[in-house]
Homo-oligomer: A and B are copies of this chain.
């Protein structure tokens, strides 16, 4: 299968193994990148590492006895239905639970407005699949959820990013961009397939889009006919401030994604899509080929958990935990990070986004940090590949470590950054930069 090239080789057990199949892969594989977070997964589970990289919820306090009973009951009460193939779109009873959960966000839907997916991630993959042909335009926040970039990239779009501030996406820049696209197009069409946003406690920014910006975004979506995808995994993780309405509660044409990963257990891989019925019909069609159906047993467990246990009480405990950790993180940033650094101040979610001076390279910084026993996500992974953006930024998660560990990790990270910056300051002073 063609000549062997070194670039088509990989290391297996320290030996180079050539990829005899390198000329068989689809063109999409040329740009598909591994997620830094996934690569850090192994490191993050080492006991000597303080992980600020993953978005893993801290479920160590979940009441295992209760969940164990829920799982046992799920098999006994639902019997074979929990172990058999199910409907592609998900169990009716699970959708009913979702409809009830959605009422808390002023989203009024019935089961046929909902499809259950394998976590929120599968929803992203399916939306990419049904909307994106090679070279189509899509818009995301910049930086954005790296898993969304991975999911969409498989379908080879061109991704336009719109920056945010503490009030969320800078919608006036979106407006300029859309106007520019229309003006440049010979047919007066912007050609954007969809705009993907995490408006509440954004990943990686931690910021929440203000009500004014939300209104402006929806205005633009009407004016320019742009489909909005609202990804909302963190909406229930608010520590302070006032809730802002979901985009879907303000506009029925918004596609809304939810998940139990951050409010119950990610290992059950249960998420959902709410979408206008014609879009949902296409998504369900794509889902048939992707997995036939999701796990019936997991859905039954989710039903029992949200119907029969004090899930809100468990979540409140988790929120209390995260609040302390966020506070510890923001305090440690003040104490240990250089004056040149800026960062976001999230009212919920899992992440803080830190911006360093342009000349600091966070991907390079990571290996030094690892030596010091700390992991984080270099910012470039939160931008489309090849954009060159985000190399002076980093995402740090406060969800998984104890406050004293967070403080210690940021102390070490502050040192590493300080060392780098001193070097650069010397160069600058010497006029070399």
Contact = CB atoms under 8 A, between A and B. Distances in A.
A182 B31 CA distance: 30
A54 B87 CA distance: 12
B265 A84 contact: yes
Contacts of A269: 118, 291, 293-295
Contact of A121 (B132, B133, B291): B291
A165 interface: no
Given A34-B285, A289-B153, A298-B295, A278 B10 contact: yes
A151 B290 contact: yes
Nearest to A150: B289
Copy count, this protein chain = 2
A154 interface: yes
B27 A267 contact: no
Contact of A267 (B26, B84, B153, B286): B84
A67 interface: yes
A144 to B, nearest CB: 14
A426 interface: no
Nearest to A112: B12
A119 B292 contact: yes
Contacts of A130: 25-26, 29
A262 to B, nearest CB: 11
Contact of A290 (B121, B282, B292): B121
A330 interface: no
A137 B381 CA distance: 34
Interface in A65-81: 65, 67-69, 71-76, 79-81
A129 interface: yes
A1 interface: yes
Interface in A1-35: 1, 8, 10, 12, 17-22, 24-29, 32-35
25 contacts: A18-B278, A21-B278, A24-B193, A26-B129, A26-B132, A27-B133, A29-B130, A29-B285, A38-B288, A41-B88, A56-B84, A59-B80, A60-B80, A68-B75, A68-B76, A81-B267, A83-B265, A85-B267, A119-B291, A121-B290, A151-B289, A154-B290, A267-B295, A269-B293, A298-B298
